[in-house]
Chains A and B, each alone.
Chain A
């Protein structure tokens, strides 16, 4: 449960020939309180994945800083990548157990597998599963570490609607059960409204913050599609800029 202070002055990719490449992120500031569920919405290729990689500590080549509240200990990160990134030579269960040092928590893993309806597949190798199942394994893996910060990079892309709805519901239930800071990248505005406390709209490259909107629909009404649709229409009316992004 740690908050985040993001302050990125400049992030550029270096072209292979040593020349300064294109600027990806410019003057990006974002402050996320602990346990907030934030959705990042922006056009594809705008640098959202880069931002998540920087928060996860995978990409350190930038000017600026990313700090957590709890600065004397690095935050525990759960990362659901855009592709599942499971180890193909380890079973579903081994893939989840590997993120723990020492004894993995059997009861927790069992309950997560049950929640995501994967208990029967736990001893299968990932390549024998459908992509939807692999994505759910990746989500379990990220949840199981009990992260301070959970990063989700379009985790429901390429799932069919029913599957996506089910995984989304599981994710939401898990988050409510054990709250933590979430940064969720999405293209789907309805999905973002249904899940998030706060929506961050981002511009195309170089990425800047365009709009910062709080979602004020009470949590118990989030399954109500009419409420979400109403919010979406109001949002698009009040911020015409967003329309052009999507």
Chain B
């Protein structure tokens, strides 16, 4: 009962804080009264028009597709390398420096180099995102692999679980929180990088559109597109990641 009331109150507070933010924006826009800070209503109407014309859904869709492809590649590659480094100390010692270098190369440098070397093509854009993302996944998954419970691995070995069974029932459930962490931080990172990638070398997608609005000083469209973007991220978090967490953590006390 108490818990439910607390939950209700926190939801109410969350809604209120959004309203306050909107109100502040309204007041500020009215005070400034300039096209560089449009009223919320103006942004809403631009948003609606962009949706109806199909322009926003198209560019958002293109970006989402790039995001999906590069995310899947980066996660698969990162997990494989991370497990390898976590399990094998000498391989880890050899590649540790590479990892540090790749972690610290600025995203912009990778993007420019990819475009210079491979041309202004789709695969170069995807590669740039993947290269930026993989080291993060590797570091997280490597930690997870190092933290694997030896007791349980020995149990699996003495009962002859075999490779597949050991992975599915012993290793994966332990890696899962780390994969989720890599997914979360990874999505946040890719969102930001992918816009720069599109801005620099693509002729569609959110990044390209934002660049266009910048040149036209069209702040209303810029904000409308940003909100669509933020909303999609929130939806992914709410509809995909949260339920995945819940089902896989049922066993916790």
A: residues with CB less than 8 A from B are: 53, 56-58, 77, 79, 81, 83, 85, 87-90, 98-99, 101, 125, 127-128, 141, 145
Contact = CB atoms under 8 A, between A and B. Distances in A.
Contacts of B152: 85, 87
B251 A99 contact: no
B112 to A, nearest CB: 44
27 contacts: A53-B154, A56-B158, A57-B157, A57-B158, A77-B159, A79-B155, A79-B158, A83-B151, A85-B151, A85-B154, A85-B155, A87-B152, A87-B173, A89-B173, A89-B248, A89-B251, A90-B169, A90-B251, A98-B161, A98-B169, A99-B159, A101-B162, A125-B251, A125-B253, A127-B252, A127-B253, A141-B159
A176 to B, nearest CB: 24
Given A57-B158, A81-B151, A87-B170, 20 more contacts: A56-B158, A58-B158, A77-B159, A79-B158, A79-B159, A81-B155, A85-B151, A85-B154, A85-B155, A87-B169, A88-B251, A88-B252, A89-B173, A89-B248, A98-B165, A99-B159, A125-B251, A127-B251, A127-B253, A128-B253
Interface in B159-173: 159, 161-162, 165, 169-170, 173
Interface residues of B, number: 18
Contacts of A88: 251-252
Contacts of A58: 154, 157-158
Interface in B127-177: 151-152, 154-155, 157-159, 161-162, 165, 169-170, 173
Contacts of B154: 53, 58, 81, 85
Contacts of B5: none
A127 B170 CA distance: 16
A90 B161 CA distance: 15
A99 B169 CA distance: 11
Nearest to B161: A98
B4 interface: no
A77 B169 contact: no
B90 to A, nearest CB: 14
Contacts of A99: 159, 161
B144 to A, nearest CB: 15
Contacts of A128: 253
Contacts of A145: 159
